[in-house]
Structure 1
Amino acid sequence: MANDVIVASTAVDAEAVDAIKNHHAQLAGQVAVLTDAMLAAIDRGADFEPPRAAVLEFLTGELLPHAAAEEERLYPAATRTERARPLVEAMIAVHRIIGALVERIRIEPPVRAAASGHALRVLFDAHLTDENERILPIVAADPEVSLAEVTHGMHELLGGHAAANGAAPSHTCGCGEHDADDPVLDVRAVPHSIRHATVFGAFDAVPVGGALILVAHHDPVPLLHQLAERNSGRLDVDYEERGPDAWRLRLTKR
């Protein structure tokens, strides 16, 4: 995902860009944890249906509506610029592939469904990079388009604020992951501007009693404070490694 500064035509549009990019990061974090849960179930021979149900709930309830909102609001604004039209057509084609992968996750046997989930994660990460680096700059820089107005009231594009205000996330995955099966999120390669949002999204996908292994290049104390606040203090932190090359922490949701 991009870490470049996007030049927006107004201050409110710049805020809208940040909101969209943060929402993208949260979605990517959730996709990572939920698809990893399916792979982990295959690896340990556990019941595959709970993680399958969890990822389908998220994909149909959050990810596909996000894609539909982009096609309704964001992409038409981008196609005002002639050079963006082929790109938008390609983005819509990716949405169709994502939809097909969701259906494969729904109907295929466990191993194939888990493979489809991994493919969806890789494709979605690349798709978000294109949106952050190519679509958003075009719309934000157009003085005749207000990105803030285009996205106004669109939870599907901007994300919600309940978890950020301390409410517990409504999603639980029920996959029973623990110990070595805990999902691992290495944020060392994630751009700083969206690093916290990526962790927030990933931790939102962790069920109560479950844990996320976080790998960072320094002790993420400010992030831990924000994460605890988002989850009303229902967070336990155990350091498994303290540098010098990496900090590895187990974040458990209580």
Structure 2
Amino acid sequence: MPAAEIFIQATETDPTVIARTAVREAHQRLRAGLAELTTTEPMADADQPSSAELIDFCRHELRQYLDVADRNLYAPAAGSSAGRLLVDALRVGRSALDRQIDDLAAAGTSDTARIGAMIAGALDLQFRIEESVLLPTLAELAGVEPSLAVASPQASVVEERGEAPAVIDVRQIARGGRHPRVFARYARLAPGEAFILVNSHDPQPLRREFEAIHSGAFSWDYLQTGPEEWRVRIGRVAVDD
């Protein structure tokens, strides 16, 4: 097989390439959506985007992405010393975007285009940092596979509803990388969410680590107890208001 063909096949299955492609595609969809709704070009009245459409896009599609990015990208990176300051900066940017979206929803019609343009500019900076700094940082973290840190908003919505909890089969992960992968997945859970761990034995050593690190903040429910396969539902405990 020619070297070039081998390289193409390798990049198609490279987790870093998969993650970068998925994130950039999500970014491009949101950029295009904002651009269409904040256009300043003259258009026929029937085709002119409305303020309500822009507000709806920002409050739902844009915020949904920000939630998914925080849970699936920021949280795993925040667990390392190399990524902690970066994630702090990204979360400051995310908070600023949330405030701008609130301002947009409360603004009069005359201000929606101006605030929408501000949101587009702030979002572009956020996206550039995610692509150029955050993804390379995730790629270097032991136990975090970038392609698994990326999930579509639709998949996350399904998981939030409890229809299809994520499954991590650690039998398919090399020793030494199993516990970090599980803790990285736990870090991405929102309160009340869970995932299913599959193992070839009772994962009591992992449970002891959870007790030491996340005591009182996790749930551990056996779904199957051998003899050849163990399944455990691990969740983040919802905090009562």
TM-score when scaled to structure 1?
A: 0.50
Cα separation, partners in 2 of 1:110 and 1:102, compared to 1, 3 Å? same
Q: Match for residue 27 of structure 1?
A: 30
CA RMSD between the two structures: 3.0
Q: Match for residue 91 of structure 2?
A: 92
Displacement, 1:13? 3.6
Please tell me the residue identity of whatever aligns with 2:110: V
Q: Match for residue 110 of structure 1?
A: 109
- Whether the aligned pair in 1 keeps the contact of 2:77 and 2:84 (CA below 8 Å) is yes
- Whether the aligned pair in 2 keeps the contact of 1:140 and 1:147 (CA below 8 Å) is yes
CA distance in 2 between partners of 1:140 and 1:83 (Å) = 12
Please tell me the residue identity of whatever aligns with 1:26: R
Q: Match for residue 209 of structure 2?
A: none
Please tell me the residue identity of whatever aligns with 1:12: P
Displacement, 1:135? 0.5
CA distance in 2 between partners of 1:157 and 1:144 (Å) = 25
Q: Match for residue 129 of structure 2?
A: 130
In structure 2, list runs of 5 or more residues that go unmatched.
1-10, 157-241
Please tell me the residue identity of whatever aligns with 2:84: R
Displacement, 1:20? 1.1
Q: Match for residue 140 of structure 1?
A: 139
Q: Match for residue 76 of structure 1?
A: 75
Cα separation, partners in 2 of 1:157 and 1:66, compared to 1, 3 Å? farther
Name which of structure 1's ranges 10-19 and 61-70 shifts more when overlaid on structure 2: 10-19
CA distance in 1 between partners of 2:138 and 2:154 (Å) = 14
Query: Number of residue pairs matched?
Result: 145
Please tell me the residue identity of whatever aligns with 2:19: A
Cα separation, partners in 2 of 1:126 and 1:75, compared to 1, 3 Å? same
Which structure has more relative contact order (CA 8 Å, sep 6+)? It is 1
Structure 1 counterpart SS, 2:19: helix
Displacement, 1:50? 5.6
Does residue 153 of structure 2 align to residue 156 of structure 1? Answer: yes
Which has the greater radius of gyration? 2
Please tell me the residue identity of whatever aligns with 1:108: A
- Whether the aligned pair in 2 keeps the contact of 1:20 and 1:158 (CA below 8 Å) is no
Displacement, 1:100? 1.3
Please tell me the residue identity of whatever aligns with 1:22: E
Q: How does 1:1-254 map to 2 (within 5 A)?
A: 11-36=14-39, 39=40, 51-151=50-150, 154-156=151-153
CA distance in 1 between partners of 2:33 and 2:15 (Å) = 27
